[in-house]
Structure 1
Amino acid sequence: MRLRRHGSLLGSSLKSLSTRPILCSQCHHHQYSTGPPQNIAVIGGGITGLASAYYIAKEQPTARITIYEAGPRLGGWLHSSHVEVPGGRVLFEHGPRSLRPGMGALVTSTLIQELGMIPDVIYTDKSAASAVNRFIYYPDHLVRLPNPTNDSSLEIAFTTLREPLFKGFIPGAIGEAFRPTRPANLDDESVASFFARRLDPRVAQNIISAVLHGIYAGDVNQLSVRSIFPLLWTLEKQGGSVIRAIATSRVEENIKLLRRDRELLAETKKVVNPEFMAAMGKASVFSFRNGLQQLVDRLAETVAGNKRVTTNLGTPVTHLELEEAASGDKKMKVFTESESQTYDMVVSSIFSKTLSELCTSNSKTVLPELAKTHAVTVMVVNLFYANPKLVPVEGFGYLIPQSIPFQQNPERALGVIFDSDTIKGQDIATGTKLTVILGGHWWDGWSTYPTEDEGVAAAQSILARHLHITDDPVAAQAKLQKDCIPQYTVGHITRMKQTHSQLMAHFKGRLRVVGNSYTGVGVNDCIRAAKDIAQDLGQYNQKSGLEEIPA
């Protein structure tokens, strides 16, 4: 269950049904056309910006790097806090709360080792209740999702046949190989449309919409299947249907993402501690003893310890422009409220729509496709109860699909995380810790949002209706995360292709983009993209951060 996006605000959930967009750079070269940049600005001090500065400092050992962060702290959406409660202290995560190991975390694993943080990692085993038991609320009760690793075929069959949640799934799966393939001229479609074509509309609205609430907090009818499920999109193109493509062993044919992952796995095995790799292989999710903010704190400390890196907090960038000298030399000029500075290159890790507002000419943005980007707002409500036995089931938590009746979800919640089960070892108090996520696409178009007290009351209302929890929490916090998760809506890949052309036309390779607006909303995605972009900085007139977009 993960709203990452930042990365992500719900923890890792049903991400195995998805795969990260094939937008990141797949190949790395180190030849430089005019020499590597020596003066670089990084805009944004969240996890992507910090990781970018860290990797740029490694790749360009003589470069000077300046980080511009508009807010008063580094870390962005990764924000953990300790709260005193009767009997001790508990950790509240106000953004992402756990990461998934596996292929997506290969770069993250290497970074953790480089930062000396392996002793601080805490794991949830794949056999734990939170790994085995994941739920969707439909239409008025919790439904445990079948787990092929732990459940017998009979148990899986009984669940899928008995529960209304799975209506349409079995006949849809049986008939998928015989359904007509998509029109040749179809460039993209919504996730709902794709699953309705290939399986059944009920699968899209019930199961898949819940999954995407847990990752993007987004609307299944608006999100792009080509961006979010690129493997399924490619398989249908290759085999005429997903199942036929798998049956004819075409899964890996012409799929750059899988080839790149295999290469990265081989690289990681050479450098990462084998015991750490083995521990990650046994884990369902992982975090750190003091929460995910411990990762950005250590990263910020490491970056700050480099004399070539300067960090400017509370310094929003107001404008970016390219300067071209008569000699043909090109520089980027960065404007703040008080001054302007010139750099060889700028790496932007901020929300793409905000970047478009900084890049204007004659009061019009020169990156119009980025101006179309939409992001959703969520409220993360953390609650701690003295009673350790409040939740009627053990597990990771549950997601709420778009299709359940309004009467069951008038608060517009996206899901509930059973934090006490999900990650153990962060608290020194006994009780029940829960997180309720509100809003997302349900709040699109809203000009005002609930107050903290209203958010806590809404979370308690959901828990009372769904789990019959009526106790009062001994500690509660609600944090509004405005525009925290960019939405990869239909046409996202085409817009990114056009943005690459616009970046090259107006900034000649001197402005690079990276972050959750482009190549994946998760923390692991952002760290990997930061490393990718740092390795290609010297290739002027070739790179934008979006050049390796699939055709």
Structure 2
Amino acid sequence: MRLRSHAHLLESPLKHISTHPLLSLQWNRHPYSTTSESPRKEIAVLGGGITGLACAYYISKERPRDNITIYEAGPRLGGWMHSTHVEVPGGRVLFEHGPRTLRPGLNGLVTAHLIQELGLIPDVIFTPKTAASARNRYVYYPDHLVRMPPYESKIELARRLLEEPAFRGLIWGVFGEIFRPKRPADLTDESLGSFISRRVDPRVVNNLVSALMHGIYAGDVWQLSAKSLAPMHWYLEGKFGSTTRGLFDVNTTNKASGDNPGAPILRRDADMIKEMVREQLEPDFRKALRECSVYSFRNGIQELVEHLAESMRSNARISIKLNTTVMGLKLESKDQGGIKVREDSPSTKDVVVSTLFSKTLGNLCISDDGKTQLPALCKTHAVTVMVVNLYFTNPKLLPVEGFGYLIPQSVPFAQNPERALGVIFDSDAMKGQDTVDGTKITVMLGGHWWDGWGEYPSEEEGINMARSILARHLRITESPAVARANLHRDCIPQYTVGHDERMRIAHAQLKSAFGGRLQVVGSSYTGVGVNDCIRAARDIAKGLGENVWLLGEARTGLDHFLDNHSWVLPGGK
């Protein structure tokens, strides 16, 4: 099994798809959104994080005459994206308290175009693929750092795969995947851990894949959905009996027909790529994206939030209400009324777009009998993570150069009693944000390990836990010059087994209860990364541009779950 990167789509997206008749959506060309005769609508966006800001931005492009109100319960915009400058001896350093970098790739196409539209390109800083932090990524198992491939030579690769305990089961598991039996026909979903155990080897799950899931979802690989998190591999096994055989057959067929080889792609992704081909990136920016591993901004990832917010504030049709908690949503009339938004100053909106955590939204939509109208959304679970930032004046504390390391579930408790998820070497991972040398490290604690906890560590306790991890794993015992710990409650929704089916049920419940006037988008549904959220915001804005709630088509933001993952093979077949 191999996870394929879509970064190559930045080179020439047209060569990966054909002029398929279904690939026909067009960006910002909905006549209803621009006609002066269309009635002005009131649109609410719940949540002022990156998804909410991107939603308002893209909706304002699709429907420039309409009024948009952003409701944010907290005192600041940006949600989990939060960068702060901290004064330290000799200068200042940047701490990222949530997401810290962006990655080129499929959904990253939308983010890249957004950055260009906002005039942010001069502030972008890149970590090239040749940098140590791009080449050196580690897992910790069972009591030492293990560098992940690729390596400098095939001999080194063979030696590491044969000798390193973390890689046990990988070689024969991958080569033997093609001979494994196909899943039962009645199996509609399973955990990612179960899926890879069936196709490869459970040791690979425990030692490697569980670490990856700690880094992305802070989640339990034995609970997360294979169909949702590895949809292409799930599809290939179902169609060809094996993911390896499926990729081989697809590439062989396309070579024979003269098409470029490649992996299957979701139809909605193919649609998006074809649209974005018309919006060219600046050549130098495009080249830099092709050559980088990750990128961010000189003043932190919050620059993206700030520029979006500036764009909102300069638009007279957009208003932002901070420190405003929405306490309820109720449809006034299915035929012609809007949605009543309950807060300190209640108002009625023609359509509401929620970027809130799905369980939070479900608890806002209460029927007259006191029950939620959206029970499927209330079933989504989210994990809590503590992010601990530490700065040391000594610039040579780290034993290795690299991006950092993740901790798999198979690490013995004695090696990880603090229940850490991973450690990021910030001073290596993203250079050019600090004015002083030193060593900057972020330790991530909690996630699924803290499920069921009634109380969480205090800031002081979290810092002490992070220092214990660094002392045990990296032999770093110096006291940090500055340390900060931030607890993010319910920050990462978990796409557990059955996520797709729950979203189909949620679509039906949204359609029935609100008739298309309440739509949902964000990390609870189609991806937890920044790129995922920006892409989803753009998608939902396009639907609003089509004015579907007036045309009688009750969209919900979850409509694409109904197609059960519609795939396009390379060449558009």
Deviates more, 1:97-106 or 1:112-121: 97-106
Work out whether 1:63 is the aligned partner of 2:66.
Answer: yes
* Distance apart, 1:245 and its partner CA: 0.4
Residues in 1 aligned to 2:32 and 2:454: alpha-carbon distance in whole angstroms: 47
List per-residue Cα deviations over 1:383-427 (Å, max 9, x = no partner). Answer: 000110000000000000001100000000000000000000000
181-190 vs 255-264, which moves further: 255-264
TM-score, scaled relative to structure 1? 0.92
Measured in 2, the distance between the counterparts of 1:425 and 1:475 equals 19
Residue 90 (1) aligns with residue 109 (2) = no
SS at match of 1:249: helix
Q: Please, which of 557, 562, 570 is the counterpart of residue 545 of structure 1?
A: 557
Determine if the alignment matches structure 1 residue 114 to structure 2 residue 121: no
Aligned match of 1:213: 214
Tell me what 2:360 maps to: 354
CA spacing shift, 1:454–1:154, aligned 2, 3 Å: same
Q: Please state how far the C-alpha of 1:467 moved relative to its aligned partner.
A: 0.3
Question: Contact 2:232 / 2:264 at 8 angstroms: preserved in 1?
Answer: no
The 1:543–1:214 alpha-carbon spacing in structure 2 relative to 1, beyond 3 Å, is: same
The question of whether the paired residues in 1 share the 8 Å contact of 2:6 and 2:105 is answered with: no
Greater relative contact order, per chain length (Cα 8 Å cut-off, separation 6+): 1
- After TM superposition, the runs of 4+ consecutive aligned structure 1 residues lying more than 3 A away are 14-19, 25-37, 250-255
Distance 2:239 2:295 in 1: 35
Question: Does the C-alpha gap of structure 1 residues 26 and 535 become closer, same or farther in structure 2, counting only changes over 3 Å?
Answer: farther
Task: Kindly indicate whether the alpha-carbon contact (under 8 Å) linking 2:40 and 2:65 is maintained by their aligned counterparts in 1.
Answer: no
C-alpha spacing 1:155/1:218, structure 2 compared with 1 (3 Å): same
Residues 434-485 of structure 1: CA distance to partner in whole angstroms, max 9, x if unpaired? 0000000000000100000100000000000000000000000000001000
- Residue identity (%): 58
Alpha-carbon distance between aligned partners in 1 of 2:40 and 2:505, rounded to the nearest angstrom: 25
Secondary structure of 2:479's match? coil
Distance 2:328 2:554 in 1: 23
Give the Å deviation of 1:542. Answer: 3.1
Give distance in 2, aligned partners of 1:146 and 1:104.
Answer: 24
Q: Is the 8 A contact 1:399 1:416 kept in 2?
A: yes
Superposition map of 1:89-488 within 5 A: 89-147=92-150, 151-249=152-250, 252=263, 255-256=266-267, 259-260=270-271, 262-264=273-275, 266-267=277-278, 270-324=279-333, 328-336=335-343, 338-361=344-367, 362-488=369-495
CA 1:505/1:28 → structure 2, altered by over 3 Å: closer, same or farther? farther
| Shift, 1:35, TM fit | 5.8
Query: Can you list the C-alpha shifts for 1:50-86, whole angstroms capped at 9, x where unaligned?
Result: 0100111111010000111001110000000010111
CA distance in 1, matches of 2:265, 2:399: 47
Q: Give the 3-state SS of the residue equivalent to 1:49 in structure 2.
A: helix
Whole-Å Cα distance in 2 between the matches of residues 288 and 524 of structure 1? Answer: 15
Measured in 1, the distance between the counterparts of 2:111 and 2:77 equals 18
Secondary structure, aligned partner of 1:454:
helix
Do residues 509 (structure 1) and 510 (structure 2) align? no
Match of 1:6 in 2: none
Counterpart selection for 1:528 from 514, 522, 535: 535
Unaligned runs of 5+ in 1: 1-13, 20-24
Shift, 1:323, TM fit: 1.1
- Give the whole-Å Cα distance in 2 for the aligned partners of 1:112 and 1:363: 44
Which consecutive residues of structure 2, in runs of 5 or more, have no partner in the other structure? 8-21, 252-261, 565-573
- Structure 1's 154 and 493: CA in aligned 2 closer, same or farther, altered over 3 A? same
Distance 2:436 2:465 in 1: 25
Residue 18 of structure 1 contacts residue 228 of structure 1 at CA under 8 Å; is this kept in 2? no
**8 A Cα contact 1:31 1:539, kept in partner:** no
TM-score in terms of structure 2 length = 0.89
Mapped partners of 1:546, 1:472: distance in 2? 49
In 1, the alpha carbon distance for the partners of 2:522 and 2:479 equals 39
Cα displacement string for residues 161-202 of structure 1 (whole angstroms, at most 9, x for unaligned residues) = 110101011111111101101111111000000000000011
Cα distance between partner residues in 1 of 2:281 and 2:371: 47
Letter in 2 for 1:357: N
**Aligned residue in 2 for 1:11:** none
Task: Read off the aligned partner of 2:97 and give its amino acid letter.
Answer: H
Q: C-alpha separation between the residues in 2 aligned to 1:224 and 1:32? A: 39
- 1:16: Cα distance to partner? 6.0
Q: Aligned equivalents of 1:200 and 1:111: distance in 2? A: 41
Deviations 1:306-331 (A, max 9, x none): 00111110001000011117xx3131
Give the length in aligned residue pairs.
Answer: 526
- Name the counterpart of 1:73: 76
Contact 1:37 1:345 in 2 (8 A): no
Contact 2:6–2:106 at 8 Å: present in 1 too? no
Q: 1:275: how far off?
A: 1.0
The alignment yields a C-alpha RMSD, in angstroms, of 2.0
The Cα of 1:156 is off from its aligned counterpart by 1.1
- What secondary structure, in the 3-state scheme, does the structure 2 residue paired with 1:447 have? coil
The residue type paired with residue 89 of structure 1 is R
Which amino acid in structure 2 is aligned with residue 548 of structure 1? H
| Superposed displacement of residue 247, structure 1 | 1.1
Say if 1:533 and 1:488 are closer, same or farther in 2 by CA, change over 3 A.
same
